[in-house]
Structure 1
Amino acid sequence: MNKLLKIGAVTVLLGSILAGCTFGGKTNEAADVKTADTSSAVAVPWIGTKNTTRINTSDPAQAAVLVSQTLWTAQSDGSRPSSVVLTDVANWQIAAAATDLIHHPSNGPVLYFDKDSVPQATLDELKRLNPKGAESNDGIQIVIVGPVSDNVKKQLDDLKMKIDQIAGDDPATVAAAIDTYYAKVAGELPQGVVIGSADSPEYTLPAVNWIAHMPEPLLYVTKDNVPEATAKALEARSGKASIYVLGPESAVSAKVEDALKQYGTVTRISGDDPYENAIAFAKFKDSGNGFGWGITAPGHNFSFVTTDSPALAIAAAPFSHLGKHAPLLFTEKSGMPDSVMNYLMDLMPKFKDSPAEGPYNHAWITGDSSAITAKAQSEIDDMLEISPASGENPHSGH
């Protein structure tokens, strides 16, 4: 059986197993759904291979719900979130900064609303999760981040849950407000800060998986300017901030990097293109304070998306918080760029006597086959497979 047939067989199997996993009790006959009607179900929500699991939709609201269902089973108090972060799917900058609240205080996902309404899939997921209320945050069950319409507010009020809001529509201002909110709830202000470009999601988005996992916030600059809100947030660190600029000078200029030095130590983490930039962030580790993934050896998990859908990348950010914690890597629709392929080759697990020794790699893939093809999923799967240290054929016997 060839690789594509294997994926097809797994799809049919999972389709049978997961036929009852629908949104709002509805079904959709299309096996590969990309639709603005987020009240419809994804017929095959997950597609698995031996080393990968695909969140099988390219609709961001649906993807956020599937990520939530994957990580929070809501079958016990321990598997329910404390709170849920809700934000506008159309504003990637605010949504990305909001992922700082995934770990603390929420231990919960980011879900999406639209400009004028909350998708039925999101409402159903909020009911399924039934957030416990964050003890450190006065029992809040939903944190709205960014602006919200009266109709959205009414739909959420009808849920009879305890709601808080971090208001505002300017990304730099809202990001700074999230930083303040986090510090108040946590009881301390993180000294580490990730600085990203508000204009270049392809270079900034690798930060979301880290801040969903650790306390550092994401604050914004433009290529040549430090917004006042960002400057004030950095000033609150009293010159002791550990500042990590993410992206090359084409996204954040050397002028801005120099301007940031008055607030603390500045380190740039960058690559020449979005693929290499994400790899650089996945590899980086600050030995002085432990900041960064530092992934340079086998035995890890990764989250793959394409560069052209920031909302999908943000929906998948919780994959760095629970389970096999995963940094974000970018891929192309039909296969991995050479830089990503080479990185995974360096991380390929090797066994001496038996593949049962481990370690193993795994990847989450977010997006249907219109975003990342089945062939590309198969390629990622192959590159994560454990192989003999001798270099022999891994399938010729042990």
Structure 2
Amino acid sequence: MKKLIMTGTITLLLGTILAGCSAGKDNSAESAVASVQSSITMPWIATKNTTRINTSDPVEAAVLVSRTLWTAQTKSNRPSSVVLTSVDNWQIAAVSTDLIHHPSNGPVLFFTKDGVPDVTMAELQRLKPMGADSNDGIQAVIVGPSPEGIDKQVSSLNLKVDTIEGDDPAAVAAAIDDYYAKVSGELPQSVIIGSVDRPEYTLPAVNWIAHMPEPLLYAGKNELPAATAEALKKRGGSAAIYILGPKSIISADVEEQLKEYGSVTRISGDDPYENAIAFAKFKDTANGFGWGITTPGHNLSLLTTDSAMLAIAAAPFSHLGKHAPLVFMKEEGLPDSLMNYTMELQPKFKDSPAEGPYNHAWLTGDTATISEAAQSVIDDMLEISSASGENPHSGH
């Protein structure tokens, strides 16, 4: 195993590969980070329109996403608090992404059944969360079931820790809804209802709830859990409810039950690829809910449909920087629906490509998850082109 050296320098290799990171000025943190053993020799791989988080290990991916977005060099780029949750439970990890949003303004990092991995402990040291002012200075929130002693492990870094306990995904989702309302001082009226059984249809929601205050609550195909119903009741019958997924995933009967708590809108596609694109395109003009991305000059987060924990690790790409909705691709390239969507978003210039706007995409996963050829295709599809159809570089 080679060391992943986290220094204050980012080195550009071959014009496309970014390596290195910022460890701050604490010598003990530098030592801890530099000692972490990792197989990642090239943490980031970039092309002109894409950047790859070059690991398919969710624990490592969460750390690399954190390092990308929170440089932790000044107060303005340090998180207020960090979410810690199990890498073995996608349902609970997914709803925990609601706590990425302000006032927490921090990443989701993972622990395992054995505790907090060294690479995650080192990242907590590097980040030095400042504490959320509206949450009594809490610096880390542990969500869901955790191994014995994990709170002591995190507290050993002199972090103030809070917990949201429970092992039932619907109940934990409702508890996070309550927790966020308490910390932020408001209860969002809009709510996403996702499938507790089918991550490939539910996970596009995580990028929205990381970006905005609305929560993700769960339903089964033919069942509305009591915890979800109780959370909806708190909206006083005026909730704006958005079901994510087709009737084959969350039934028409559940949709009827939801109407008791407010207005109900279904956002769906026939397969996970079309479903994610439908969510990226959707906008409710009445209240501003939804990405509404249908024009050039945007960012996308791309993963494969079987990468649930990587999708959760990458959720902060919708919170900072070039805010990105999640859409799904295949290991070897783009399905037709995504190819058509990127064609809709492709920027066109009249006189010069310097006019912009520009598109970008984050890819999460190594080349065994998303091939080099697929990254190249995505890069091509996002490239600005001439509105006339001529060579975009003619005359340059």
TM-score relative to the length of structure 1: 0.92
Distance apart, 1:42 and its partner CA: 1.6
Structure 1 stretches of at least 4 aligned residues deviating more than 6 Å after TM superposition: 19-23
Q: State how far apart, in whole Å, the 2-side matches of 1:47 and 1:12 are.
A: 10
Distance apart, 1:70 and its partner CA: 0.3
Contact 1:175 1:219 in 2 (8 A): yes
Q: State how far apart, in whole Å, the 2-side matches of 1:230 and 1:128 are.
A: 37
Q: State how far apart, in whole Å, the 2-side matches of 1:19 and 1:363 are.
A: 21
Give the equivalent residue in structure 2 for 1:355. 353
Given candidates 68, 71, 74, the residue that maps to 1:70 is 68
Q: How does 1:294-373 map to 2 (within 5 A)?
A: 294-373=292-371
What SS is found at the alignment partner of 2:297? Answer: coil
Given candidates 25, 41, 47, the residue that maps to 2:34 is 25
What SS is found at the alignment partner of 1:371? Answer: coil
Given candidates 131, 134, 139, the residue that maps to 1:136 is 134
Q: State how far apart, in whole Å, the 2-side matches of 1:91 and 1:207 are.
A: 16
Contact 2:140 2:159 in 1 (8 A): yes
Q: How does 1:1-398 map to 2 (within 5 A)?
A: 12-13=14-15, 18=20, 24-26=33-35, 39-40=37-38, 42-397=40-395
Deviations 1:232-265 (A, max 9, x none): 0000001000000000111100110111000000
Q: State how far apart, in whole Å, the 2-side matches of 1:156 and 1:26 are.
A: 18
TM-score relative to the length of structure 2: 0.93
Q: State how far apart, in whole Å, the 1-side matches of 2:60 and 2:130 are.
A: 22
Q: State how far apart, in whole Å, the 1-side matches of 2:156 and 2:68 are.
A: 26
Contact 1:81 1:129 in 2 (8 A): yes
What SS is found at the alignment partner of 2:103? Answer: helix
Distance apart, 1:393 and its partner CA: 2.1
Closer/same/farther in 2, CA of residues 257 and 40 from structure 1, 3 Å limit: same
Distance apart, 1:104 and its partner CA: 2.3
Q: State how far apart, in whole Å, the 2-side matches of 1:121 and 1:95 are.
A: 18
**Bigger mean CA offset, 157-166 vs 66-75:** 157-166
Give the equivalent residue in structure 1 for 2:7. none
Contact 2:19 2:43 in 1 (8 A): no
Deviations 1:134-167 (A, max 9, x none): 0010000000110111132332121121000000
What SS is found at the alignment partner of 1:143? Answer: strand
Closer/same/farther in 2, CA of residues 11 and 224 from structure 1, 3 Å limit: farther
Deviations 1:280-307 (A, max 9, x none): 0000000100000000000000000000
Contact 1:11 1:47 in 2 (8 A): no
What SS is found at the alignment partner of 1:44? Answer: coil
Contact 1:270 1:276 in 2 (8 A): yes
Closer/same/farther in 2, CA of residues 19 and 246 from structure 1, 3 Å limit: closer
Q: State how far apart, in whole Å, the 1-side matches of 2:209 and 2:378 are.
A: 25
Deviations 1:362-390 (A, max 9, x none): 00000000000000000000000000000
- How many matched pairs? 378
Give the equivalent residue in structure 1 for 2:6. none
What SS is found at the alignment partner of 1:212? Answer: helix
Gaps of 5+ in 1: 1-9, 28-38
Contact 1:211 1:218 in 2 (8 A): yes
Contact 2:17 2:46 in 1 (8 A): no
Q: State how far apart, in whole Å, the 1-side matches of 2:143 and 2:339 are.
A: 36
Residue identity in the other structure for 2:194: G
Distance apart, 1:24 and its partner CA: 2.6
What SS is found at the alignment partner of 1:339? Answer: helix
Contact 1:243 1:264 in 2 (8 A): yes
Closer/same/farther in 2, CA of residues 74 and 214 from structure 1, 3 Å limit: same
Deviations 1:289-330 (A, max 9, x none): 000000000000000000001100000000000000000010
